[in-house]
Structure 1
Amino acid sequence: MNAPLHMRWDDRGQQSLLARAETLIQAPGRSILGIAGAPGAGKSTISEWLLEHLLARYPRQVALVPMDGYHLAQSVLEARGLEHRKGAPDTFDGVGYVAMLTQIRAQTTQEFYAPIFRRDLNDAIAGAVPIPPETRLVITEGNYLLLDEAPWNNVAGLLDETWFVELDQDERLRRLTARHLIFDNDAAIAERRATGNDENNARLVAAGNHRSTLVIEHTPSVVTTGSGE
């Protein structure tokens, strides 16, 4: 396996990434682009930026399906005593996510729908992302696209490219803590979540770096918007 390319998240890198995504749109059939990385690295920010820019040029031809839509319901996590580990691989419906990616690849004649995760509700919402037949590129982002354990190890083979997002560790933890504060409103709890369960998950994610197509160095000096996932 070849070592992944490295690109900085600056003007030059952004234009190169857009060009790569446009190549996928113009390829025969429907393409799937995966954007992976640790919690707080900036996957959502980059995915949403890419979606916005591509839709401006290719209306209705690009969709974003985050892996987070496959969180197990909060009621299921609580029933299984897993709520404190929310975000770990076994707190997702990985089999369902793989099935959706397979459907995205195969079902190109009828519109269907994918779920999203709502942080304000702390739960997934079904049928939230329409994928019409004219969709040429689906972007999917999440922690475990390159995780080498079942069922996640089936994901990479369904993707045309996978981009791995990296961010300075201190900045990533700062962003995670700030994000948790929005919902927890308790600095001690927010910090404990960022350095505890989230950090355990980040170590799992980091092992997939070398299996990506390219690595995006998401420098904190660039001002961006989004959830920062």
Structure 2
Amino acid sequence: MDDTVNALVRRAVDLSRERHGERVLIAISGAPGSGKSSLTERVQAGLNVVLAKESPSSRAAILPQDGYHLSRAALRQLPDPDIAFARRGAPFTFDPHALVEQVRELRDHPERTQYAPSFNHRRKDPDERAIVITPDDRIVLIEGSFVHLDIEPWRDIAALVDELWFVRVDRAELKKRIIRRHLAAGIADTYEEAEARALNNDLLNGDYILGHSLVPDLYIDSIEDCSIAAEK
């Protein structure tokens, strides 16, 4: 995996150099359980090492889609709150307009310090202004399941970023990972409960992503056996 992370770091740094230090935005997507969050964090760490050698103040930041979850209060105002809570994590349970506007601000105003929400897993709601992105953040990695969707308004993200990277993994492996995650996090108490949640929400979202996403600039195969597969 280290070889893949190093290759992705080099690719992002090369993009930055081609743009003569202008901010670079990269959207990293994949199905739930694909490992995109872990990969993004490792790429950020690698970028921070390389960028600091070029300029001590230069950094990379992560903008996670998770911060744009609708709050539980907002979910209760939807036409069918029961479905909204059961399918929390599906595209309609996010605020994509706010995310698109944040990405636009990052693109159009790199000279400004900007604030973005993160998701508080303890409260199960977003924390507003929890993430700070400064002008020193030369590369911003926008990470989330739906940041490549080819539907409005999600598709506007692709027009604002420099590249799209997609982490893909076999569906059967996805199911195993999601079940393990639900059990480890205490989201489900039994294997059967975790499997039902995976089938009725996470894998539905994964199938939707595969069927409604733009073609990425780069595919990254798996995450535990991480390798760059192909470019478009």
TM-score by length of 1: 0.86
Aligned Cα root-mean-square deviation (Å): 1.7
**How many correspondences in the alignment?**
213
Q: CA deviation at 1:19?
A: 0.8
Distance 1:69 1:41 in 2: 19
Q: Which moved more, 1:168-177 or 1:213-222?
A: 213-222
What CA distance in whole angstroms lies between the structure 2 residues aligned with 1:209 and 1:14?
Answer: 23
Evaluate the alpha carbon distance shift between residue 209 and residue 83 of structure 1 in structure 2; reply closer, same or farther with a 3 A threshold. Answer: closer
**Residue deviations 1:24-82 (CA, integer Å, cap 9, x gap):** 33223211011011111011011000111111222442100011110000121133201
Please state whether the residue corresponding to 1:35 is helix, strand or coil: strand
Q: 1:67 & 1:118 partners in 2: Cα distance? A: 13
Structure 1 unaligned spans of 5+: 1-9, 223-229
Superposed displacement of residue 159, structure 1: 1.1
8 Å contact kept, 1:43–1:141: yes
**Number of the residue aligned with 2:73:** 75
Corresponding residue number in structure 2 for 1:64: 62
| Other-structure match for 2:104 | 102
SS where residue 121 of structure 1 aligns? coil
One of 189, 194, 197 as aligned partner of 1:186: 189
Tell me, in whole angstroms, the C-alpha distance in 2 between the residues paired with 1:208 and 1:220.
25
Q: Percent identity?
A: 34
Does structure 2 retain, via aligned residues, the 8 Å contact 1:145–1:152?
yes
The residue number in structure 2 matching 1:3 is: none
Structure 2 alignment gaps of length 5 or more: 53-57, 227-232
Contact map agreement 1:171 1:220 (CA 8 A) in 2: no
Instruction: Give the counterpart letter for 2:152 in structure 1.
Output: A
- Name the structure 2 match of 1:54: 47
Q: After the TM superposition, which parts of structure 1 deviate over 4 Å for at least 4 consecutive aligned residues?
A: none
Residue 203 of structure 1 pairs with residue 207 of structure 2: yes
Superposed CA offset, 1:144-186 (max 9, x none): 1221111111111111011100112222112211222213241
- Tell me which of the two structures has the higher relative contact order, counting C-alpha pairs closer than 8 angstroms and 6 or more residues apart: 1
Letter in 2 for 1:147: L
Task: Quote the residue 1:150 is aligned against.
Answer: 152
Structure 1 equivalent of residue 230 of structure 2: none
Rounded Cα–Cα distance in structure 1 between residues aligned with 2:16 and 2:128:
26
